[in-house]
Structure 1
């Protein structure tokens, strides 16, 4: 059994789920899986993935897990009470070979947002582990351990980086559950305070780490169907978040419509209200410079704000960004696949993205072409027009 706890997921799934419970309990959504690696044949593993899905849907939150969540300052008691009754249901998930017959598989999740939001991260972890335990049955982790210790030493022992801290964001694309735990234990023991925490709630509880996370792309995408009008959907999403958390969990995500559109909406009110912003596509140095300039233009001292970098980072890139922006703002770095799946074999680049909400298409138009997913090209064209996004973006 790959997933042993419903806490084995990213914290932002719970923070978003609480907003869904309180503000959008009737919302209906649809998610779709995609493997971005060419030539990967996942069809032989469909039955095994389904078996792991069925096991996932037998899990319930334990009393200890609920108490752990209840102790978080931003988690409300009625949400924990709801989780005490919660169980995932496999009827919302379909897994089948792609119609193209090219080895790709179709995974679709369709149902109430409140009852499907927790599928994404464990399902991706399941696909990863099933694939690697079949294609690398006798894998030797010696190379992974060597690489991991080199990364720890580079960050820990390089003069001038004593205050550079990283967090683990690697759950969804990890090589395996046991390897992920070994990585986190090594990071904790090797980096000490330079490990800020992990996005994985289960391992945060097990290993005494800080759980980290705020919101993801799906939250802002859903507001394309939930908000008052499309042009105001980004503002509506940020307003709803602020209403729920009253200043807590104040990191805004900047790349659902690209940085230009984000900065148009992220006015002085939001600059002062939110603690900072997270980068997840496009050039990180350019993004950071523009964010600092935007804060200054809105009469906010950038040194009081957090820039979170989380797009495909490795330790050398973290150190380059730290050196470039240190002293000019507060900094945070989330490292994912390069920590949890760097053992030799090429990692899978797999995602599950929301494609519909309340029967309407939703989309992300990020600053990195190739990251976008939408099943309705006419809607994407309309979205670009509404937000003034050039056709060359995304």
Structure 2
């Protein structure tokens, strides 16, 4: 009998902890509803995974944080003692998750307090991916994955050793691949390889368990769900981004200073990202739309506020591969600091077609919430009336 896929509650992305802490401290009674969304039809029906997924969820909900894991979280300066005390009592409640099928379609819905519901996302996506790819796993697939990984390392090493890195603008690469990984042990191998062979460029991983095990820096701040929740938390809709950013500032007081820009698009974000926020936050994260155009807008915005963009960080995290990382680095080096969070291209590049699944917040406190992405395919299917209203409020064209 196979062991469970998830064996530690640290086996998730850092931003789940940082968002959960902010939720616990600022809106602990909020209720969230999440849905699994498949953006592209998979090669094989996901519905056949239902029974195995149910069993994995049962195992997940039996996990607790160990004393050593809690001690590690306490060592992170931005994690507060009362939050770790809460986690000492924490376990995921199985009753908040419902799995069903509709023909070949796998359906999964989560509904419950956000301090519970939001913590399921990365675990669920990692489980579905690993269950799906078990059918393909084998020595030949792993060998192809290692060949591809070696090629990536060689590309990056040649760029670094060939003088491609400008003084004062380091090439910074992180693993953001937990949600899309081929398997847990494969992500471990990839991250350990990069840390060993590219120590001057590889800055860490979003996966807290891997960071702890390998002595790396855990990377992450906020995700879309944190910003989206403020669409339903009693502030004027036009002010939800500013309310979310202000809450983050009050919670972290200068730590974790990278703001996510594409909940209602970059243009609408920059309208709210005034001098106050531009000085308080260390930089911005790109997750949809043309990354070159996005970076140009960010730099122009900082310059319009008389802030030198060379002291700010532009974090790119949307569908990156090695070539795109190097192209973006070359383009912006000398103009701004850059960092690259690479997901599927690291954790699930073994010659197979990756899944394109997400688990997104659809309602908060009984009200619809939405994301108006700069990439049309990433705009979530939600209540069309609310979507139209959101577009109107932020002057985002359909």
Q: TM-score range by the shorter chain?
A: over 0.9
Stretch moving more, 305-314 or 373-382: 373-382
Structure 1 distance, partners of 2:138, 2:128, is: 15
Contact 2:15–2:223, Cα closer than 8 Å, also in 1: yes
Contact 1:361–1:374, Cα closer than 8 Å, also in 2: no
Contact 2:312–2:337, Cα closer than 8 Å, also in 1: yes
Given candidates 77, 82, 85, the residue that maps to 2:86 is 82
SS in 2 for 1:351: strand
Contact 2:12–2:123, Cα closer than 8 Å, also in 1: yes
SS in 2 for 1:370: helix
Given candidates 57, 72, 75, the residue that maps to 1:71 is 75
Structure 2 distance, partners of 1:187, 1:5, is: 23
SS in 1 for 2:284: strand
Stretch moving more, 221-230 or 334-343: 221-230
Q: What residue in structure 2 maps to residue 160 of structure 1? A: 163
Structure 1 distance, partners of 2:302, 2:234, is: 26
Gaps in structure 1 of 5+ consecutive residues = none
1:148 paired with 2:155, answer no
Structure 2 distance, partners of 1:169, 1:122, is: 14
SS in 2 for 1:189: helix
Deviation, structure 1 residue 10: 0.3
Q: Give 1:340-359 correspondences, 5 Å limit.
A: 340-359=347-366
Deviation, structure 1 residue 227: 4.2
Contact 2:175–2:342, Cα closer than 8 Å, also in 1: yes
Structure 2 distance, partners of 1:182, 1:344, is: 17
TM (norm. structure 2) is: 0.96
Structure 1 distance, partners of 2:171, 2:244, is: 31
SS in 1 for 2:380: coil
Gaps in structure 2 of 5+ consecutive residues = none
Deviation, structure 1 residue 190: 1.1
Deviation, structure 1 residue 389: 0.6
Deviation, structure 1 residue 248: 1.1
Q: What residue in structure 1 maps to residue 101 of structure 2? A: 97
Deviation, structure 1 residue 85: 0.4
Q: What residue in structure 2 maps to residue 27 of structure 1? A: 30
Q: What residue in structure 1 maps to residue 375 of structure 2? A: 368
SS in 1 for 2:376: coil
Contact 2:141–2:351, Cα closer than 8 Å, also in 1: no
Deviation, structure 1 residue 136: 4.0
Given candidates 179, 186, 206, the residue that maps to 1:179 is 186
Contact 1:304–1:329, Cα closer than 8 Å, also in 2: yes
Deviation, structure 1 residue 138: 6.4
Structure 2 distance, partners of 1:45, 1:389, is: 38
Q: What residue in structure 2 maps to residue 132 of structure 1? A: 133
Structure 2 distance, partners of 1:197, 1:160, is: 23
SS in 1 for 2:37: strand
SS in 2 for 1:233: helix
1:62 paired with 2:69, answer no
Structure 2 distance, partners of 1:10, 1:55, is: 19
Deviation, structure 1 residue 383: 0.5
1:300 paired with 2:307, answer yes
Q: Deviations over 1:341-387 (max 9, x none)?
A: 00111010110000000000000001001112133111100110011
Aligned length: 388
Given candidates 12, 20, 24, the residue that maps to 1:17 is 20
Q: Deviations over 1:105-148 (max 9, x none)?
A: 11101000001111000100000000111344665311100000
Contact 1:92–1:109, Cα closer than 8 Å, also in 2: yes
Structure 1 distance, partners of 2:138, 2:213, is: 27
Stretch moving more, 105-114 or 136-145: 136-145
Structure 1 distance, partners of 2:332, 2:242, is: 28
Q: What residue in structure 1 maps to residue 208 of structure 2? A: 201
Deviation, structure 1 residue 36: 1.7
Q: What residue in structure 2 maps to residue 218 of structure 1? A: 225
Contact 2:344–2:354, Cα closer than 8 Å, also in 1: yes
Structure 2 distance, partners of 1:236, 1:111, is: 23
TM (norm. structure 1) is: 0.97
Structure 2 distance, partners of 1:30, 1:258, is: 23
Structure 1 distance, partners of 2:138, 2:237, is: 48
Structure 1 distance, partners of 2:377, 2:329, is: 27
1:285 paired with 2:292, answer yes
Q: What residue in structure 2 maps to residue 327 of structure 1? A: 334
Q: What residue in structure 2 maps to residue 249 of structure 1? A: 256
Q: What residue in structure 2 maps to residue 45 of structure 1? A: 49
